Structure 1
Amino acid sequence: MTALVLVHGLYHRPEHFAVVADRLRSTGAEVVVPELHRGSLAADTAAVQSVVDALDEGPIVLGHSYGGSVITGVRGAGHLVYLAAFVPDVGESAAGMGGASPQLRDAITPEPDGSTSLHPERAVDALYGDCSGPLAARAVGLLRAQAPGCGRGVPEHHSWKDTPSTYVVCAHDRAVDPGLQRTMASRCTDVREWRTGHSPFVGQPDLVVGLLRELLAAATTTTPRP
């Protein structure tokens, strides 16, 4: 059976995908949620590449936000899912394409060691504005500090050029401009649009689970690696 690899964005942790992962696993799906924050886009991409390489066949690989830059550089996926995510072309980075919205930039707080973190209340507005209070509070509590520079990383490979892909535009996003998302979505094979904020895996996990189950049903066990 085709596996699923879920790749989180900046400041996030694998635990942010816990509800989605648990619901998919309850139906027998193999789900891997690698930890990023390795210090650079190249290191984060290598971490996900090692997961993909360990699987028997090309998995469905979902990247959220900055995670789109990560999955763009990964080889061997059977299908790519960009969830409000960056789809960089040659020479492009997430930061260079527009990066964080004014709301998200306003939430970024410098730390003494050179890393940055997100101000909790401002992070709710930018990332989880359409989530219930308890869900938003849990998600904010999971956020972690981020080493500088990852968003300026440029992928060395561009897997969306030779791998089927689905882009999900989050129309009420306050972190990555929906207009920019639609522009990036034009690079993908298929486009969906949800009336959600930046983090539907927190506020509306059923949408994410439903899409991934649909893609799993369409996948074949003989899908070759690109």
Structure 2
Amino acid sequence: MQIDRRTFSSSLLAGAVTALAPGAARAAIAAPSRSRNVVLVHGLYADGSSWSEVIPHLLAHGLNVTAVQQPLTTLPDAVAACQRVLARQDGPTILAAHSFGGAVATEAGMAPNVSALVYVAARAPDAGENFPDLAKGFPSTPASAGVVFDGDEGRLGKESFLRDFAPDLPRSKAEVLYAVQWPFNKALMAGRPQQAAWRTKPSYYAVSTQDRVINPDLQRFMAKRIKAETIELPASHVSLLSHPRAIANLIIKAAAEH
């Protein structure tokens, strides 16, 4: 029996546990939000349910939240999907992205209602920049060797997924995340953003210091280059699941300030 991925993601979110990793939380931000909407963009090896631990915190703060289900076919397709969701928002909107989703947000963030960008262990390329070329300036990460292809469709193998993508999650939770992994097309990796919203929009960045997917020093380089307000978390690539309150508070802070 096949299960519709949107239905499954909704069910997963409904049962989300908002557990807090020790020492990762920051104090809840009481300031009223200037931006009432949040749009969340997932990355490779995942779908919208990867935000399931962050979303309850944002909803509890009174924010309107939408997680984009990226097609992961080409960058223009992914940007268009994000733009459609942004167009449905009523008023200023925070655009938050994880992993490869940062490339999507970098271009889609040019939408006039996007008030600020939040990057979570995410790519933050410049306009016309090839991210793999940028990454060559830093040591490669273990996950890069774990990608497997079936024709033009790529995914992260299970061993690498558990060891490199989500090593700081309980194995049972990491296996659920693996089960909803959404494959990507090779053409996606060739995409280059046509514009870079971070050049004109306020930006925030959450660095994962134990990341085995995107080199932490590369994350720090990008955060500094985009002049982002930056936090560092002792987390794997999936800080949005292992440190959800800290990620939620960074988004809430962006909403309160912009």
What TM-score do the two structures reach when normalised by structure 2?
A: 0.79
Q: Which residue of 208, 216, 220 maps to 2:255?
A: 216
**1:204 counterpart = 2:238:** no
Q: Provide structure 2 residue ranges, at least 5 long, that are not aligned to the other structure.
A: 1-34
Letter in 2 for 1:214: K
Report what 2:176 is aligned to.
138
Verify the 8 A CA contact 1:37 1:147 in the aligned structure 2: no
1:57 partner SS? coil
Count residues with an aligned counterpart: 218
1:200 is displaced (CA, Å) by 1.0
Deviates more, 1:135-144 or 1:58-67: 135-144
Q: Which residue of 106, 114, 126 maps to 2:145?
A: 106
Report what 2:163 is aligned to.
125
Q: Provide structure 1 residue ranges, at least 5 long, that are not aligned to the other structure.
A: 220-226
Aligned-partner Cα distance in 1 for 2:58–2:254: 12
1:132 is displaced (CA, Å) by 1.9
**1:184 counterpart = 2:222:** yes
1:57 is displaced (CA, Å) by 1.9
Verify the 8 A CA contact 2:204 2:254 in the aligned structure 1: no
1:65-80 pair list within 5 angstroms: 65-74=99-108, 75=110, 76=112, 77-80=114-117
Aligned-partner Cα distance in 2 for 1:26–1:16: 18
Task: Please identify runs of 4+ aligned residues in structure 1 that moved more than 3 A.
Answer: 99-102
Q: Which residue of 45, 61, 64 maps to 2:95?
A: 61
Verify the 8 A CA contact 1:6 1:34 in the aligned structure 2: yes
Letter in 2 for 1:153: G
1:124 is displaced (CA, Å) by 1.4
Report what 1:224 is aligned to.
none
**1:90 counterpart = 2:127:** yes
Deviates more, 1:22-31 or 1:43-52: 22-31
Aligned-partner Cα distance in 1 for 2:239–2:196: 25
Aligned-partner Cα distance in 1 for 2:157–2:252: 34
Letter in 1 for 2:148: T
Question: 1:99-151: CA deviations, max 9, x gaps?
Answer: 8944112211111x421121112111211112222221221122122111212
1:5 partner SS? strand
2:68 partner SS? coil
Verify the 8 A CA contact 2:120 2:240 in the aligned structure 1: no
Aligned-partner Cα distance in 2 for 1:147–1:57: 33
Aligned-partner Cα distance in 2 for 1:162–1:213: 20
Aligned-partner Cα distance in 2 for 1:51–1:189: 24
Verify the 8 A CA contact 1:171 1:194 in the aligned structure 2: yes
1:38 is displaced (CA, Å) by 4.6
Aligned-partner Cα distance in 2 for 1:140–1:2: 32
Verify the 8 A CA contact 1:11 1:145 in the aligned structure 2: yes
**1:18 counterpart = 2:56:** no
Letter in 2 for 1:84: A
How large is the RMSD of aligned CA atoms in angstroms? 1.8
Letter in 2 for 1:31: V
1:91 partner SS? coil
Letter in 2 for 1:204: H
Percent sequence identity is: 27
